[in-house]
């Protein structure tokens, strides 16, 4: 039995010491074109190719840090009868399948993990079940390989996210059960689902059309340092969700200042689902951005919220994310997704997660190989382009690389709508 992991993530770039992964499995294969859109996909994936690509991501991370698979962590939870009963009662209640509770309780742990992730076929024993025309009583968790979304590490806290789409609710329930288990983790829990019963209302900054009440997802939360959060406000994270984060920050009565930068995102374009699709950190002084949204003239607002001594002191509009960070002492040099020469390239590569990089240490990032214009821009900025296969085969020593981008193939994985940051949930980083 491993020692409980002490969660501590004070930045996006500190050397990675622990990360949660989920290798895509049969839950991805259990999707049909008929349900793809409901599962938040625009297409179905070829699982064997997706797994081969994912093996490059996990292979690099296994050589660099300690990795934890969700299935293994969930097994620890389900091995305890009390923890099993609590999690299953919540799942069966929220997903309205109480008739399956006893059967699930008696299912061996290994099989139960598979059912909760890959889907539980429905028993067609009633007219209601027959007319429902649903193959699954518990739908497969098609999106779970994007482990970033259902929870987020912020300092020594873990935010359990309130997912914007009901097809992903079970992900947050599983992550709450994992992080609240003292045999696995030491951390404080912020459960956004506790706020989910608040009245519905406008979900975005003034002018937004999002009306989902409280929702917040990890892809929208970027930890710049222990005093600055960058948060996206769009399809998946509403203003009420951000207000919940602010309320949590205000519980900290310690002296000093905290800042939350809120960037409004388009709510009608699929590729802008999270903040990390348009901005990720590369190094202490560098970031990767989708320039038309982050720096370009557009209708999407940047808002700075200043908290002092546990109280909101000021909320004001700012010019853009980078100028706001500069005011807060973070002068970042941007590298443009798709390069700086052609907006056509920027649009194409942003669509395929070109701005969605993941830092394993300052100046060392993971990214997709398919986004060649972005890689050229990174190369020009001093990032040596190396392949995941060469790292795994010990042809490249990452310790000796000053700045590098490690490329993983990306013909299938991006079709799910995310990149390297989306597929990783850090739990421990060194302080920068």
What CA dihedral angle connects 34, 36, 37 and 39, to 10 degrees? Answer: 120
Cβ proximity of 225 and 165 under 8 Å: no
CB atoms within 10 A of CB 304: 19
pLDDT for residue 209: 36
Cβ proximity of 366 and 408 under 8 Å: yes
pLDDT for residue 207: 37
pLDDT for residue 42: 54
Phi and psi based region of residue 412 (left: phi greater than 0; alpha: psi -120 to 50; beta: remaining) = alpha
Note the pLDDT tens digit of each residue in 66-104: 999 999 999 999 999 999 999 999 999 999 999 999 999
Task: Look at the chain and report how many structural domains it folds into.
Answer: 1
What is the residue range of 250's domain? 5-429
Question: 15 is written with which tokens?
Answer: 């050397």
Q: Quick one: which of 203, 199, 228, 231 has its CA closest to 215? A: 203
Note the pLDDT tens digit of each residue in 144-153: 999 999 999 9
Q: What is the DSSP letter of 76?
A: H
pLDDT for residue 31: 57
Low-confidence ranges of the chain (pLDDT < 50): 36-37, 39-40, 198-210
Place of tokens 């214009």: 373
State how far Cα 249 lies from the chain centre.
20
CATH number at residue 193: 3.75.10.10
d(CA 266, CA 361): 30
pLDDT for residue 252: 65
């Amino acid at each position: 039995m491993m020692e409980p992991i002490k969660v501590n993530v004070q930045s996006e770039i500190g050397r990675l010491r622990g990360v949660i992964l989920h290798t895509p499995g049969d839950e991805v294969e259990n999707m049909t074109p008929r349900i793809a859109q409901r599962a938040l996909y625009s297409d179905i994936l070829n699982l064997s190719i997706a797994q081969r690509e994912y093996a490059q991501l996990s292979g690099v991370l296994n050589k660099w840090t300690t990795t934890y698979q969700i299935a293994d962590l969930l097994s620890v939870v389900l091995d305890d009868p009390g923890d099993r009963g609590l999690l299953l009662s919540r799942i069966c209640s929220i997903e309205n399948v109480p008739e399956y509770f006893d059967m699930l309780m008696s299912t061996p742990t290994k099989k139960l993990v598979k059912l909760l992730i890959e889907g539980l076929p429905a028993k067609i024993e009633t007219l209601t079940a027959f007319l429902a025309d649903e193959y699954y009583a518990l739908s497969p968790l098609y999106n779970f390989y994007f482990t970033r979304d259902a929870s987020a590490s912020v300092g020594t806290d873990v935010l359990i996210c309130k997912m914007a789409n009901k097809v992903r609710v079970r992900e947050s329930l599983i992550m709450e059960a994992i992080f609240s288990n003292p045999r696995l983790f030491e951390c404080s829990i912020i459960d956004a689902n506790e706020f989910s019963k608040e009245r519905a209302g406008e979900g975005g900054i003034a002018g937004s059309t999002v009306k989902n009440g409280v929702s917040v997802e990890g892809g929208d939360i970027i930890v710049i340092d222990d005093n600055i959060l960058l948060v996206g406000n769009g399809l998946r994270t509403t203003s009420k969700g951000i207000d919940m984060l602010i309320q949590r920050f205000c519980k900290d009565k310690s002296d000093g200042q905290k800042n939350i930068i809120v960037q409004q995102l388009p709510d009608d374009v699929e590729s802008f689902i999270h903040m990390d699709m348009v901005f990720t950190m590369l190094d202490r002084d560098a970031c990767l951005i989708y320039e038309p949204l982050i720096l370009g003239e557009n209708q999407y607002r940047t808002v700075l919220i200043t908290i002092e001594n546990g109280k909101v002191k000021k909320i004001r509009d700012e010019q853009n994310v980078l100028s706001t960070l500069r005011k807060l002492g973070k002068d970042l040099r941007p590298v443009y997704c798709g390069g700086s020469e052609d907006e056509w390239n920027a649009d194409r590569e942003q669509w395929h997660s070109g701005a969605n990089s993941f830092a394993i240490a300052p100046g060392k990032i993971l990214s997709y190989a398919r986004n060649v214009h972005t890689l050229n821009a990174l190369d020009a900025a001093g990032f040596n382009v190396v392949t995941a296969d060469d790292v795994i085969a010990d042809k490249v020593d990452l310790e000796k690389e000053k700045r590098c981008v490690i490329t993983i193939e990306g013909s299938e994985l991006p079709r799910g709508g995310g990149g390297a940051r989306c597929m990783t949930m850090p739990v421990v980083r060194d302080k920068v």
